[in-house]
Amino acid sequence: MGLLKRNISPYDCILFRSAVQSNYGGEHRELITSSMITTTPNELVLDTHPDRMPAILHPEDYEEWLTGQPEAAFELIRPFPAEEMVIHQSGEGLKSDRGGL
């Protein structure tokens, strides 16, 4: 998977976590869910994930993402520059997400 050439903070990847209350067969349950915002892959990620990569923000974009208008935040959802990432793979049975390609 791609890793940034710089140290990563927890805020680099946009990840949302929420608690959802549901009713299953009359039984009330609270579920913990999460989701990740994705965008089109850059050239580095494309071979591993041909249809997506996590949206990654530069630190200078955090403020706009958190406090700006929705339209401005949406513009930040774009492929992270490939030249600022490296691929690091290790272990047996690495995940292959080529969808039979």
Domain definitions of the chain by residue range: 2-83
* DSSP-derived 3-state class of residue 60: helix
pLDDT attached to residue 59: 87
H/E stretch holding 15: strand 15-24
Q: What is the pLDDT of residue 32?
A: 74
Instruction: For residue range 29-66, list pLDDT tens digits in order.
Output: 777 777 788 999 999 989 888 999 989 888 899 889 88
Write down the residue that tokens 């869910």 correspond to: 33
State how beta strands 53-54 and 27-36 pair.
Answer: unpaired
Say if pTM beats, i.e. exceeds, 0.75. Answer: no
| Highest mean pLDDT out of 17-21, 39-43, 66-70 | 39-43
**Between these two residues, 27 and 92, which has the higher pLDDT value?**
27
